[in-house]
Chain A
Amino acid sequence: MPARPAASRSASPAVPAVMAAGDLGQLFSALTTRGYQVIGPTVRDGAVVYDAVDGPDALAAGWGDEQAPGSYRLVRRRDGAIFGHRSGPTGWKRFFWPPELRLWQARRMEDGFRVEAEPAADPPRRALLGVRPCQLHGLLRLDRVVAGGPYPDPRYRAARERAFIVAVNCTEAGGTCFCASMGTGPAATAGYDLALTELVTDGAHRFLVEAGSEAGRAVLSGVPHRQAEKDEVAAARVLLQKAAEAMGRRLDAGGVKELLYEKFEADHWDRVAERCLACANCTSVCPTCFCTTVTDATDLAGGRAERRRRWDSCFSVDFSYIHGGPVRASVKSRYRQWLTHKLATWHDQFGTSGCVGCGQCITWCPVGIDLTAEVRALRAGGERGNGV
């Protein structure tokens, strides 16, 4: 994001620090005394969601999750890991690009109406604790879309500029993860203030801590820590390596943009459409899906009007409506739009993939459509209708 150059967040100190798991409360204090509201993973409605947490006790400690296409289940862990779960359904984008937001109100006057913009953007300072590397990439890509163009969204930008990010590297691969093949994990490389790697061994539960910004170093200085031992750094490296290797799922990203452009007319889209319910779950859980719509309303007397912005999805039939009908009337065309945007046109528009390999669209798809499998099928298909 232009307002906060990535460079200021990327330089890690040569030697990481180590913080005892029992001192996590100190990290909370260091953040709250600096005015941050801490948002972290917590258990609600049978899932790990991100919400305000007032201390380590509120975290989803001791919980893990089993994820598979169309399936998500919380399980108790035996090792007591605090961040032993993976990405969940709610994601982080809602804290910057909220599901619903009033943009302005208008009051009818004798000579017309007056627009009253919402009070100047003054969002809370939020510390996001437990941001997975894939999700962090999701935020960085969202930055580019809604705050990196000629008309940056002022509220998003202000909220992002004030946010403090504590990333947590993934020492285990989840059931639908494929970040290793997308180059977005399992370790965070940029965009964080602090990055934690959780080390749970017999009798020692601690975090390897890397600071990625001045703000991160300042917060770290207020938390008990010591320099990491060589074997601790090595242990973290091995865990991350193993997580990458254990990731069962991969998306072969090489040439995928060209592939999707080439397969625009492929029969395979019809086969996906037979399963896709166009329910928009995938766009709702996707860390980079940004589409919104606006709704206008008046009070009963017609004296006040307001305009709200809401998340929208390219899977809804109205999404592309122009007078007379929708441009993308078929489910096939809408799934194709979504996947082609994620993996192909996003590159042309924003210079990166729109997919960060978090696997949430696979987990939360009610019929278990797996985009990595769809890409494989498109690649394998020597079928008719391949041409552009």
Chain B
Amino acid sequence: MTKVPPEVLGEHPFLQNLSPEHLRTLAAWSRELEFGRGELLFREGGPATGLYLVRSGRVSVELHTPDRGPAPVQTVGPGEAVGWSWLIPPHRLRFDGRALEPTRVILIDGEPLRAACESDPELGFHLLRRLVGMLAGRLEAARLQILDMFRRR
């Protein structure tokens, strides 16, 4: 487990243009993690760990189903973020996150992050704006998947 310097944190597209001060705040609860192919980053039902920033590799967001086993829904790659359950009660994970290949991520611990967002609304706003952008992207992607646009009519 390695602490992440603020500059490195600032290089990730999700946190680009965040102020050095805010980056320093986040760095205090950030660590770098590595996962091997097939390893779970997080697991449905577990307590929300925090915000994952993917640096390399790919993470499959999936649900485990009794009949089909893991059912992947979306793939998250380098430069993307995953995990927002830490922000929303009851702070419990709703999907599995599995590394599809050797994957390096930065994990920012959810609990202190939530507290920081509450005590520093400016940081909260900047983070939330990024999270909303990410959520909108996921929602749009999910809607297009539901639309099944390649289906033969």
Contact = CB atoms under 8 A, between A and B. Distances in A.
A324 interface: yes
B153 to A, nearest CB: 3
Contacts of B152: 323
Interface in B117-153: 152-153
B114 to A, nearest CB: 43
Interface of A (DSSP majority class): loop
A284 B91 CA distance: 68
A382 interface: no
A273 B152 CA distance: 31
A325 interface: yes
A324 B149 CA distance: 12
A24 B153 CA distance: 63
Nearest first, the 4 closest Cβ-Cβ pairs linking A and B are A324-B153, A323-B153, A325-B153, A323-B152
Contacts of A323: 152-153
4 contacts: A323-B152, A323-B153, A324-B153, A325-B153
Nearest to A324: B153
A182 B153 CA distance: 45
* Chain B residues touching A, range: under 10
Interface of A: 323-325
A324 B152 CA distance: 8
A323 B153 CA distance: 7
Nearest to A322: B153
A323 B151 CA distance: 12
B149 to A, nearest CB: 11
Nearest to B151: A324
A25 to B, nearest CB: 63
B42 to A, nearest CB: 40
Contacts of B153: 323-325
A1 B117 CA distance: 73
B150 to A, nearest CB: 12
A340 to B, nearest CB: 27
A324 B151 CA distance: 10
A262 to B, nearest CB: 30
A322 to B, nearest CB: 10
B37 to A, nearest CB: 40
Nearest to B153: A324
A320 to B, nearest CB: 15
B4 to A, nearest CB: 49
A324 B153 CA distance: 5
Nearest to A325: B153
Contacts of A324: 153
A66 B17 CA distance: 76
B23 to A, nearest CB: 43
A321 B5 CA distance: 59
Contacts of A325: 153
B147 to A, nearest CB: 13
A323 B152 CA distance: 9
B142 to A, nearest CB: 23
A8 to B, nearest CB: 53
A47 to B, nearest CB: 44
